Structures are given as structure tokens and as C-alpha cells.
Amino acid sequence: MSVLNGKKILLGVSGGIAAYKTASLVRLFIKAGAHVQVIMTPASKDFVTPLTLATLSKNPVYSSFYNDDEQEAEWNNHVELGLWADIMLIAPATANTMSKMTNGNCDNLLIATYLSAKCPVYVAPAMDLDMYKHPSTLASFEALQQFGNTIIPAESGELASGLSGEGRMAEPENIIAFLEADLESKLPLKGKKILITAGPTYEAIDPVRFIGNHSSGKMGFDIAECAANLGAYVILVSGPTHCKTTHSNIQRIAVTSAQEMYDVCHEHYSTADVAIAAAAVADYKPKQVASQKIKKAASNFVIELEKTKDILLSLGEIKKNQFLIGFALETENEIENAKLKIQKKNLDLIVLNSLQDEGAGFQKATNKVTFIDKNFNIEPMELKSKEAVAEDILNKIKAYFHE
């Protein structure tokens, strides 16, 4: 999945012949899962039609401060457009547009929106060879970069003038690749490996029966997606669940029993930077597993159980530099029991769930948690979607690595 997925892209199109390439650029953004809003300078409409870009972006295209309908005059709010965007890209950026950007010459909607934008701004220059090398253009490049903008270098090749050399706007595929690489390099958990357990474990009684629980695995899967979106490489060790992963940075390893989950966790733990034990691992398993289906004969049937290996405890015992997070689902004495678990299992953070809280627990889309760190600082949270809780957990991890 592209790092652009879900991003709100504000594409500014200025009046150069390379504007024709923006049709392909918008299509590639949409294919990557981005939301695209286009602003055109009046001159750019001589090279590509607003209808083309509106059709491809699935949004109206803006090019003036207000519409021309005297009956229903409406202001196109450049401030709202600038605040809406996660990323602003100006492509093509002509010498004229870049000069206006550097000097604040605000005579069109595109420049007004640029001056209002709070997001990262990328600039893809496009002009003829001599214009590209002119001292005034080089001064614009330098000023734009000093303002915090990022220049996407022009490419060499045949130019509209018939000359050949540097100045061609980067091809749409290369612009997308540049943005993806630049965004990925700035992700806060880039280079981190996170081990996550999720879902229930099933402990076999016979070939068709098992001891399990009602965990859906959603909490662990939401944490995995959130971590991957922040640049982490995720090992997701999951018990039986219908949940799916979509991010290419997630390696899902399916297991069934507590022993299998234990083995996989220990295989990957030594190279992990973070481990999050979100799975609902069975505490007990049948001491003897029947090789054939047990027949319904006696009126009473007794299964002798034995403890499963405590995965989280075992990881805490061999912890070196890992940031170790556990979950606790309690029904009574919640805070006291969670504090004991922090000490016993050598945790850095525990995420406490209480079955007394409405909206929390298994098979729910929401969760209400309390964070308790190793210093027993207690932070109760409101009822939230599990996706929002996952973001809160990842915020704790980001804070740990950026202290």
C-alpha cells in the first residue's frame, strides 16, 4: 500500500505546456488511494481543461476566487483549501509562479492558497533550458527551499522549444515515486521493527474441539496497521481471526495455539524494537489431546488442564532494549492487578481494559482503556474506536523513541 493512501493532495497547476501531464498525475494519485483537489491558474486552462482534471479527481476544480454565476456568487475559500491538504504539490511550477511564491505576489487563487497552506509543499519546476538556469530562477529555488518547500528536480530531455536539456517537469510516475520516498523517509517509526500478537489462541481437546475465547483480533490488527502507516516493519502473530491486513509493511504469521504463538514470538523478539502483546492467549490447555473425536457417551466429562506458557512473562525475562507493552483485561481490582502485572512481567507500559466499562472488551468496535507505565503513572482514556486507541498506543511508542 502506498504511503499516499488516504492522503489529501492539493495539486496546483500553473500555465506551462507540461500541464498536460497533470491528467496522468491525478490518475496516479487516485490509484495510490489519495484524495485530490486541483487548483488551476487561469493560464493553465489553455493547456488542460478543468473538466478533465475534475473528472479524474472526482472533485470540482477551482481557478478563481469566486464563481462567475451572478445569481449564485460563491467565494472559493483559499484558507480552507490550504488547511484541508496533507500535501500541496505545484506541478508544473513555471518561472512566473515560482517568482510569485517567493515574493508573495498574490494575484491568483493558487498563490493565495499556497500562502495559506500549513502542510508540506512540493514544487515540480517546468520551463525551457535557459530559463531553468537563469540566476532569477536559481534564486527562486533557493528561496523556496529556505521557506521549507521541497523541489522535485526537473529532468533532461526534449523541450517544447525544440531544444534538449534540463527543464522538463519530472514525469508523473517519477513525481509519485519522489513523494513516496520523501514521505517514507520522514515517517517517525521508519526503521523500527514491531512485534505484535493478536486474536485468540485455540487449545485442542480433540481433532474437532478446542478451548478458546471471543477475541476478534481487531485491536491487534488496528495497532499493526497504525504502526505500518508510521513506517514500522511489523511482525503480526495472529491466532484464528477473520481480520485482514492491507499494508505491505506487515508480515502476518498465522498460529493456532499458545505454544505456536510462543515459538514465533521468541523467534522474532531479539531483533524487535517494540513488542505489543495484544493477543488473548489461553491461560490453560488440555493436558491430554485425544487423537480421535471424543464420543458423547458418559453423562459427565472431565478435562484435565495445565497452564500454557506465559508469553509476555517470558519476553519480559529476556528483555534487553525492547519497549514492551502488555494488555490486561480485568473484572475487579483493575488498577492493582495491572500494576502487579507491570512488575511481574517487566513491562514498560500496560493497556488496561475493564469488562465493567460499556463498549469495551471482545467483539466490539470500540475500546476504553487506561494506560499505566512502569512508573505507575495512570492515564485513563475516553471510550474510542479501536483505531483511535491504536493511534494512542503508537503515540506512546513515538514519544519513547523521541524523548
Query: Looking at residue 151, which CATH number applies to its domain?
Result: 3.40.50.1950
- Is residue 3 in some structural domain? no
Same domain, residue pair 167 and 227? no
The reply to whether 13 falls in a domain is: yes
Same-domain check for residues 181 and 216: no
Q: Is the pLDDT of residue 388 over 60?
A: yes
What integer pLDDT is reported at residue 363 of this predicted model? 59
Q: Is residue 213 domain-shared with residue 158, that is, in the same domain?
A: no
Residue ending a domain, choose from 169, 185, 201: 185
Do 85 and 11 meet the contact criterion of CB atoms below 8 Å apart? no
Give me the residues paired with residue 371 across strands.
351, 379
Are residues 252 and 168 part of one domain?
no
**Is 350 contained in some domain?**
yes
C-alpha cell at 122: 512540493
**What pLDDT is recorded for position 357?**
60
pTM for this model (two decimals) = 0.81
Residue that finishes a domain, picked among 137, 168, 185: 185
**Pairing, β 369-373 against β 8-13:** unpaired
Active site positions, annotated:
213
The bridge status of strand 250-254 relative to strand 233-238 is parallel
Confidence of residue 76 (pLDDT cuts 50, 70, 90): confident
75 falls in which pLDDT band (50, 70, 90)? Answer: confident
Q: Per the domain annotation, does 323 fall within a domain?
A: yes
Domain annotation covers residue 87: yes
Based on the fold, state whether residues 144 and 274 are members of the same structural domain: no
- For residue 21, tell me if it sits in a domain: yes
Minimum mean pLDDT range among 27-41, 64-78, 158-172: 64-78
Verify that 92 and 16 share a domain, yes or no: yes
The answer to whether residue 2 sits within a structural domain is no
Distance CA 322, CA 274 (A): 5
Nearest to 326 by CA among 373, 278, 360: 278
The predicted pLDDT at position 159 comes to 79
Per DSSP bridges, beta strands 121-125 and 87-93 are parallel
CA 30, 31, 33, 34: dihedral to nearest 10 degrees? -30
Q: 360 pLDDT exceeds 60?
A: no
pLDDT of residue 158: 81
Tell whether 250 and 359 lie within a shared domain.
Answer: yes
Buried b / exposed e along 76-85 (16+ C-beta atoms within 10 A):
bbbeebbebb
Question: Are residues 85 and 48 located together in one domain of the fold?
Answer: yes
CA-CA distance, 226 to 245, in Å (whole number)? 11
Are both 227 and 129 inside the same structural domain?
Answer: no
Same domain, residue pair 215 and 333: yes
With cut-offs at 50, 70 and 90, classify the pLDDT of residue 121.
very high
Q: Give all strands (DSSP E) within 120-261, no chain letters.
A: 121-125, 150-151, 155-158, 164-168, 193-198, 203-204, 210-211, 233-238, 250-254
The number of domains in the chain is 2
Domain that holds residue 68: 8-185
Residue 390 lies in a domain: yes
Same domain for 227 and 325, yes or no, is yes
Residue that is last in its domain, among 123, 151, 185: 185
